[in-house]
Amino acid sequence: MIMADSSNGAPGTSVTVATPGRELDEFENPGLPPHRPRLADRDRRAEKRAERQVALLFFISVLGTLLFFAGYFFVPLDQSVERLRLQNLMLGLGTAFSMLGIGVGIVHWAKTLMPDHEVTESRHEIRPERDRQDAEKIVNDVLDESGIKRRPLIRNTLLGAALLAPLPAIAIFRDLGPLPGNSLKQTMWDTGVRLTRDPSGTPIRASDVTIGSAFHVIPEGLNEIENKLEEKAKAVVLLMRLDPEELNPSPGRENWGYDGIVAYSKICTHVGCPVALYEQQTHHLLCPCHQSTFDLEQECKVIFGPAARPLPQLPIEVDDEGYLVASSDFQEPVGPSFWERG
C-alpha cells in the first residue's frame, strides 16, 4: 500500500489530505524528520567531555590487558582449584575489560562525535531485465550447440553414467564399522559367570545382599578384557533383594531369582541410559534421563515414561561357595530396541 514513489524520501513534505486520486486513502510520506543536534554538536565543552570519555574507555582497556598478564604470570597454578578459579577470574575479567574498553569506547565515539545525519540512498533493481533475457538466450544457445536435446543417446547414457558414478563414493564408507551380526543379542553373561561389584569386580555372596539393598553389578572378568566398555555397555546389571512375597514371577521364571534376590539389566529399554535410581520403598526403578519407571514387583514392567518394554531379567542362582552366579545369558537382547531385535 505504501509503495510511494521515490520523491517521498525528500524531507519537508507534509501530510495533505485533499490531493485527488490514490492519495485520498493513504497518507503521504512526510519525509525524514528534521535532524536534532546532539549536545556535543552544540556545546564545545560537551564535545571535549565526550572525547575524554572515549579516551578513558580506551585506557580502561589497557588496564584490562595488564590485569590479564597479572593473572597469567603472577598466579601460579598449584593443584588447588581455588588458585585455578582466581586465575580464570583474572584472565576473564582482564579480557572483558580489555575488549569492552575498546568496544564501548568506539561505539561511544561513533554515537557522540561522528556525524549522525541519516543519509538516503535509492535502491536499484536487483538485476536488470535485459540481463535476464540475455542469460536465457545464452543458456538456450549453449544447450542448442551442445546438441544434448537432439541426441538422446548421448543424453541417456550420460544420465546413466552420472547416476552410477557417485555410488563408489558411498560404498567406500562401508568399512566405517563391522556389520552388527549377532553382537547385540548376546552379552558376557553365561552359565556360572559370577556377579561382581561395579567397578571393583569383587564377587557377591547371596548373604551380602540384605533385604532393601541394591548392588551395581558387572560380570566377573569384565575389567580384564580388551573391549571392556562395549561389553559393559550391555552387561551391567542391578541386583536387589525384596521380600520374596512381593515378587510375582510369571510361569517359567520362578527360579530366575534366589530367595528374593533378583537381577535386571541396567540398560534402559528406551534409548539406553543406565537405569540407576532405585526407590527402595516402592520398588520402582527410575531412569534419570527420560524418567521411564519400571516396577520390580511386576518383573520390571514399564509403569510410566517413554520406554515400551520391561527391563530384561538375568536368571541367577548360587554356586557351591555361596556366590551369586548367572544361570545363563539374558533371554532377550538388552537395551534399546533395534529393527532386527524381533
Partner 1 sequence: MSSSTATQSYVPKTRVGKVTDYVDSRVGGSGIIKEFGRKIFPDHWTFMFGEVALYTFIILLLTGTFLTFFYDPSMAETHYEGSYLPLRGVEMSVAYASSLDISFDIRGGLFMRQIHHWAALLFAASVAVHMLRVFFTGAFRRPREFNWVVGCTLVILSLAAGFTGYSLPDDLLSGNGLRIIDGVMKALPVVGTYLSFFLFGGEFPGTMIIGRLYVLHILLIPAVILLMIGVHLFMVVLHKHAQFPGPGRTNTNVVGYPVGPVYAAKAGGFFFIVFGVLAAIAAAFTINPIWNYGPYDPSPVSAGTQPDWYIGWVDGALRLMPGTIGNFDFEFMIPFPWGVNALSLNVLVPALVPATIVFALMFTWPWIEAWVTKDKREHHLLNRPRNAPTRTAVGVAGVVFYCVLWAAASSDLIATHFLVSLNDVTYWLRFLVFFGPVIAFMVTRRIALALQRKDREIALHGRETGRIVRLPHGEFIEVHEPVDDYKRYKLVSFDSPEVMVPTADANGKVSLLDKVHGRASRFFFEDRVAPVTPKELAASHGDHHDEIAGAKDRESIASH
User: Which positions from 257 through 276 interact with partner 1, judged by CB under 8 A?
Assistant: 266-268, 270-274, 276
Of 98, 196, 265, 313, the one binding partner 1 (CB under 8 A) is 98
Question: Interface mask (CB under 8 A) for partner 1, residues 288-307, using x and -?
Answer: xxxxx---------x-xxxx
Residue 271 or 318 having the CB closest to partner 1 = 271
Cell (9 digits) for 235: 552387561
The closest of 282, 260, 286 to 273, measured between CA atoms, is 286
Of 20, 22, 121, 171, the one binding partner 1 (CB under 8 A) is 121
Q: Output the CA angle 131-137-139, nearest 5 degrees.
A: 100
CB of 78 to partner 1, least distance (A): 8
Of 70, 91, 214, 318, the one binding partner 1 (CB under 8 A) is 91
CB of 18 to partner 1, least distance (A): 8
Site stretch for partner 1 (CB under 8 A), options 42-50, 139-147, 188-196, 334-342: 334-342
Residue 149 or 338 having the CB closest to partner 1 = 338
Of 37, 74, 119, 200, the one binding partner 1 (CB under 8 A) is 119
Cell (9 digits) for 184: 547385540
209-268: contacts with partner 1 (CB under 8 A): 216, 218, 227, 229-230, 232-234, 236, 266-268
What's the DSSP call for residue 10?
A: S
Distance from first CA to last CA of the chain, Å, rounded? 63
Of 70, 100, 214, 318, the one binding partner 1 (CB under 8 A) is 100
57-76: contacts with partner 1 (CB under 8 A): 72
Of 105, 219, 257, 315, the one binding partner 1 (CB under 8 A) is 105
CB of 339 to partner 1, least distance (A): 5
Q: Which residues in 212-299 belong to E strands, given as ranges? A: 214-219, 237-241, 261-265, 277-279, 284-286, 293-295
Tell the residue number behind the cell numbers 527420560, with chain if given.
290
CB of 280 to partner 1, least distance (A): 16
Q: Is the CB of residue 258 less than 8 Å from the CB of residue 295?
A: no
250 contacts: CB under 8 Å, gap ≥ 6: 299
Q: Is the CB of residue 268 less than 8 Å from the CB of residue 278?
A: no
Residue 161 or 172 having the CB closest to partner 1 = 172
DSSP structure string for 150-170:
T-HHHHHHHHHHHHHTTHHHH
176-195: contacts with partner 1 (CB under 8 A): 176-180, 183-184
Instruction: Report in angstroms the alpha-carbon separations of 171 from 159, 160, 177.
Output: 20, 18, 12
127-166: contacts with partner 1 (CB under 8 A): none
Site stretch for partner 1 (CB under 8 A), options 45-53, 128-136, 149-157, 286-294: 286-294
Q: Does 44 bind partner 1 (CB under 8 A)?
A: no
Residue 53: exposure state from Cβ atoms within 10 A (0-12, 13-18, ≥19): middle
Q: Does 169 bind partner 1 (CB under 8 A)?
A: no
Residue 140 or 282 having the CB closest to partner 1 = 282
Count of residues of this chain found to bind partner 1 when the rule CB under 8 A is applied? 110
Q: Does 331 bind partner 1 (CB under 8 A)?
A: no
Q: Does 53 bind partner 1 (CB under 8 A)?
A: no
Strand ranges across the sheet with 301-304: 277-279, 284-286, 293-295, 301-304
Q: Which residues in 159-300 belong to E strands, given as ranges? A: 195-197, 214-219, 237-241, 261-265, 277-279, 284-286, 293-295
Site stretch for partner 1 (CB under 8 A), options 26-34, 136-144, 151-159, 200-208: 26-34
